[in-house]
Amino acid sequence: MNICVVGTGYVGLVTGAVFADLGNDVVCVDKVRGKIDSLKAGKMPIYEPGLEEMVVRNVDDGRLTFTTDLPAAVRQSDVVFIAVGTPPRESGETDLSHVEAVAAEIGKTMDRYKVIVNKSTVPVGTGELVREVITRHQARPIEFDVVSNPEFLREGSAIEDTLRPDRIVIGASNQGAAMKLVELYAPLERPMIITDLPSAEVIKYASNAFLAAKISFINAIANVCESAGADVTQVMKGMGMDGRIGGAFLQAGLGYGGSCFPKDVDSLIHTAGRFGYDFKLLKAVVDINRERSGRLVEVIRKVLGPLEVMTVAVLGLAFKPNTDDMREAKSIDVVHQLTAAGATVRAYDPVAAENARTLLPDCVVYAASPYEAAQDADAVVLITEWNEFKYLNLERLRGVLRRRIIFDGRNVWEPERMRRLGFEYYSIGRKPVVPA
């Protein structure tokens, strides 16, 4: 099948690479020439395990190409995926200007029947908006269909999630258009659900909002555990064993970040308000998540005292492991609050340091290893739970620290082990370890 994917971010690039790997002819389009030139040279604009190898393989085999020429790409394709950015506005409303611009260009260019697929995360009603924009820009009436096919990718495991998704959602107004997508996804042999177009659009937001709610709920429980002397990790296990609840996304920590959950929750709140519903539950989810960074910094202040004379090692900057994405990363809040209080911050992240430089204060010093970051530091603050940190040589870490104090924002280590090693250890929703 001839496929055009507009947008070469996480969703577009991974989608295009996987479809090419399944034997389709795919052209990926982006208006940023520098990005296209880099992709042609085999350089990825994002860090995603396995992506570079897949892209290079399919480019070499002639199934995957890159261009800035959207009209040409649309004309040669049977199915056009719109996978451009949909950033939030100040109000929480989703900015659909990029989607509208692509739809207008498709309308001007379309020369025969095509299926237009909204892959971008868009609020309910966007499918009809795309249909209206394309129709308005057509020089002459040409039939087409608009389909909603939301993505459920997790950064760091995007290829796996595309090849082996829990479900494939296809929202279409007629069976013929839906069957075109069924044919495309058939080689994956994964469960598919075919719905009307608005329902598919709501599924995406409802899914992300529910997962965000689970995260905020267990973080609120962690607050209770800290006051009651309970252990949130034991509470999580007891809850997660209930088949109605499950353990996924039930890990207490610094809360959610990234490019999806924050903006999707805000967008659903805004959309609900547009339809006259005050989504108070989701507003509470946002409030709980927003307070997490400040709560950790307050603990750091109480333990260390005045931060003006303190050096703090921050481990992990990306919003989650296995990505270099800094969007809505909790490290941004934590580091800004620490430096504002006068602390000296040395930071280390395996892949995100370069992206972090534009978002963090200039005074932050970037280390080449976690041990270099911790050298003569008064404390370590763990922000991102990279596997590298889970398997640190803690004896070595202890040896380079000025004070053996660790603040664990992701509950990576076990309190009893930290006690045996002689650390003063503070984690989320668990009793602190304070050596005699």
Could you confirm whether 260 is annotated as catalytic?
Answer: yes
Q: Select which of 4, 28, 225, 260 is catalytic.
A: 260
Exposure of 63 by Cβ count < 10 A (0-12 exposed, 13-18 middle, 19+ buried)?
buried
Q: Provide the pairing of β-strand 405-408 with 2-6.
A: unpaired
Range 193-202 burial, b when 16+ CB lie within 10 A, else e:
ebbebbebbb
Task: Tell which residue, 196, 205, 208, has the closest CA to residue 123.
Answer: 205
Cβ contact 11:119 at 8 Å: yes
Crossing angle of the two packed helices 197-228 and 280-290, in degrees rounded to 10: 50
Task: Tell which residue, 55, 61, 56, 60, has the closest CA to residue 17.
Answer: 55
Which whole-number Å values give the CA distances from 384 to 105, 179, 245, 311, 328, in the listed order? 41, 42, 25, 19, 13
Cβ contact 341:301 at 8 Å: yes
- Helices then strands (H, E): number in the chain? 19, 14
Task: Tell which residue, 254, 279, 422, 231, has the closest CA to residue 337.
Answer: 254
The whole-angstrom separation of Cα 335 and Cα 330 is: 9
| Strand order, beta sheet including 192-195 | 64-67, 25-29, 2-6, 79-82, 114-118, 144-148, 168-171, 192-195
The whole-angstrom separation of Cα 37 and Cα 375 is: 41
The whole-angstrom separation of Cα 387 and Cα 391 is: 7
Residues annotated as catalytic (active site), given as ranges = 260
